[in-house]
Structure 1
């Protein structure tokens, strides 16, 4: 009878040791999982300038885009070629011509444009193909497809200047693009457009990306910027802007870099026409694209039609998010444990603070009799505490209680007594609770009772 197999090192062979993942790595992954699930199957149009292709970190950026594809994101990549065109013109001894901030593309310049576009297309395809087999790309074959997806018309003569082969977007072949995305291919879109008569026009890469995103009704339009990020007066990154706020920023800022101003205009246009999110991310930040998409705080500026966060009635689909939010507080003994089944049965009692599809806060209101109600399960994700969101939740629950006719509110707490006291709640007794609630008071927890009289 053969002896049982054992795992043992070969004598004299070097042993391989493996360190456990650092807690911060585990935390990052755990935090990213909800975003990975939320982004799977979503269409994202990513726009990058030609300057990005000249940077030494360009291959790493392409690997990050390959990782997005491996995670199930439907990627449309739109690229610009301004510095590449300048180089091709210089090789030919030609001087670039501009008017109204746009390139004048005569016949010799068009040859330089076509050369630059073709070279960069091959470079991007090669880098994306080379990303195959890299960690995080799933070792799956990544197919890249390009084509004549954009129809264009000439700008014509403006202000007395003939722009020749400089054009603007006329239409987007969404059926062709969707067919590529359905076949799990990365769609690569150049800044070229074609007329029904076969002419080729040089287009703005930014305009192409914006119109493609609008035509596809993309979930996200992402500009990888060369001019940095938008900052507030204290030099902090502007994390979120609504369309009205973006319009005010454009109107009031006289020192905004031209590139960022153009991105904001495109974001406003896209958000007004479609329910999409537009992200401005500094291309120079290593991993900035992934940080923006897979972390709660992000790293760039998000522009949307409506505020990113909204307080709303919870639905049965929110049970998992609420449960995950309450679990850490239950483990610490701050909140009473509630099983998922319990949450499902009482989901109509809950309100949630929704940040782009993720539950970052919640609270519940339980009526007792005709004039009393209890606020329970008031909880915020750790990353969002100390920012006034708790006050927003509490105010919403008090307003809802008033609407339901309650005149007396009460809360039971073991750790947050002072927080409620600072917001007008006064010390009460167990005997002050409605009889039905008093009958279920947990003596072992010894929770403190605080009450507040609501004004009609």
Structure 2
């Protein structure tokens, strides 16, 4: 048993190490829906956040309290009132919100103070700092609806939050803000987390929510044939938002997506939507390559895009050295011109730094990723992974269930990214007929 554990633990821990190094010193803003706490997930979430912080990540934690406030209201014989997805906060609802916030802050601080032996919290020292970091303004009267004590973030005290993070503390924010006259306003967790992430220029904004992420077809039913889209470029996310109905409920597809888009447009590189129902969702998203939810990535369109006829020369120049040393199969200009719409490229200031092509085999529900090339000038900067993700997105959009590659030298790179070796006989018949048995290329497959 011990030998088996050692055999699996050591390579796993080594595979996690690059992500530990990558995130050290970075700032994450984590928004936890009140539903997660109501579902009893707080102890494990606290353990995971304490572990993430122990590996050098600066954490701002924003908690929601939607179900807790509703429970308090119903206990007082009141029903929650909403308009356009925003709570109408009258005097009774404001009292309930203050009670719920106080109780939740107590529970959260208690969860981060635990240090029982034989638990992930053993030996941890998490100092939490909270305070009046948010200045708010009223929502006011919108379309004839008076939102009373519901508010919006007017200002974030970035300097104070940053000092607390630099001190080594975890910052805890409740969705409350105060006006310069001392009036309290009920805010939404989602808006607070988004504004704080934008003002801090955080490296990540992470929502732990009831929804598992954004599906490939967000309007279709949940199914294995409609999996979670693990990575959405900002431009694609904005386009998707325009096609979705207006969000009224947190379970509406557009509800969290609109906040992720807003954060990315404000300078947050990556925004995530994760399911709190999955134990360890935070760790799986942050320290595992493929993640578990949906990540919206701020990538400029001019950098990562589909190729056009004007890019043929740049692609030829990029792949030529790799064809000469035998890494790639030689392709003629005519062949690339013919297939140019199948290529995706990364372009910096008019220079092609990476490319790959997707040749679909619809009858076999698969496609070949070919000519994956990254310029020596940008290797090690993640361009290969960006191109791979784009090819995966294009394959899913075509309804393919897998992609495959043929390689003689880069087998391990693909295996680390979820590909599995298969026998050449696995290839679709049309591709098998063109397989060069003398070259003895390894065939690797990644299934979605």
Superposition TM-score tier, normalisation by shorter sequence: 0.5 to 0.7
Distance in 1, Cα, partners of 2:438 & 2:163:
55
Matches of residues 165-244 of structure 1 in structure 2 within 5 Å? 165-233=149-217, 234-244=225-235
Change over 3 Å in CA distance of 1:279–1:132 after alignment to 2: farther
Distance in 2, Cα, partners of 1:262 & 1:278:
13
Matches of residues 366-405 of structure 1 in structure 2 within 5 Å? 380-384=413-417
Identify unmatched segments of 5+ residues in structure 2.
Answer: 218-224, 305-325, 328-373, 389-407, 421-435, 443-448
Matches of residues 233-382 of structure 1 in structure 2 within 5 Å? 233=217, 234-253=225-244, 258-259=249-250, 260-306=253-299, 349=376, 351-352=378-379, 354-355=381-382, 380-382=413-415
Per-residue Cα deviation, 1:414-437 (whole angstroms, up to 9, x for no partner): 9982559xxxxxxxxxxxxxxxxx
Worse overlay, 73-82 or 245-254: 245-254
Contact 1:46 1:77 in 2 (8 A): yes
* TM, length-normalised to structure 2: 0.67
Give the deviation of 1:48 after TM superposition.
0.9
Segments ≥4 residues shifted beyond 6 Å: 356-361
Provide the residue aligned with 1:417 in structure 2: 439
Distance in 1, Cα, partners of 2:140 & 2:247:
29
Distance in 2, Cα, partners of 1:194 & 1:246:
33
Change over 3 Å in CA distance of 1:228–1:18 after alignment to 2: closer
Distance in 1, Cα, partners of 2:299 & 2:289:
18
Per-residue Cα deviation, 1:270-323 (whole angstroms, up to 9, x for no partner): 111104210111111111110110011111111011179x89xxxxxxxxxxxx
Provide the residue aligned with 1:38 in structure 2: 22
Change over 3 Å in CA distance of 1:285–1:162 after alignment to 2: same
Distance in 1, Cα, partners of 2:167 & 2:151:
31
Distance in 2, Cα, partners of 1:357 & 1:144:
39
Change over 3 Å in CA distance of 1:349–1:74 after alignment to 2: closer
Distance in 1, Cα, partners of 2:135 & 2:81:
24
SS across alignment from 2:206: strand
Q: Are 1:53 and 2:53 an aligned pair? A: no
Identify unmatched segments of 5+ residues in structure 1.
Answer: 1-16, 312-333, 336-346, 362-375, 388-413, 421-456
Contact 2:205 2:268 in 1 (8 A): no
**Cα RMSD (Å):** 3.3
Give the deviation of 1:357 after TM superposition.
10
Give the deviation of 1:232 after TM superposition.
1.5
Give the deviation of 1:382 after TM superposition.
1.4
* TM, length-normalised to structure 1: 0.66
Contact 1:214 1:270 in 2 (8 A): yes
Contact 1:143 1:184 in 2 (8 A): yes
Contact 1:132 1:142 in 2 (8 A): no
Aligned length: 331
Provide the residue aligned with 2:432 in structure 1: none
SS across alignment from 1:169: strand
SS across alignment from 1:31: helix
Worse overlay, 59-68 or 231-240: 231-240
SS across alignment from 1:90: helix
Contact 2:31 2:208 in 1 (8 A): yes
Change over 3 Å in CA distance of 1:119–1:360 after alignment to 2: same
Change over 3 Å in CA distance of 1:132–1:186 after alignment to 2: farther
Contact 2:140 2:147 in 1 (8 A): yes
Contact 1:271 1:305 in 2 (8 A): yes
Matches of residues 80-229 of structure 1 in structure 2 within 5 Å? 80-131=64-115, 135-137=119-121, 139-229=123-213
Give the deviation of 1:23 after TM superposition.
2.9
Per-residue Cα deviation, 1:374-407 (whole angstroms, up to 9, x for no partner): xx965634134769xxxxxxxxxxxxxxxxxxxx
Contact 2:84 2:248 in 1 (8 A): no
Worse overlay, 170-179 or 271-280: 271-280
Contact 2:177 2:185 in 1 (8 A): yes
Higher radius of gyration, 1 or 2: 1
Change over 3 Å in CA distance of 1:145–1:386 after alignment to 2: closer
Distance in 1, Cα, partners of 2:261 & 2:81:
29
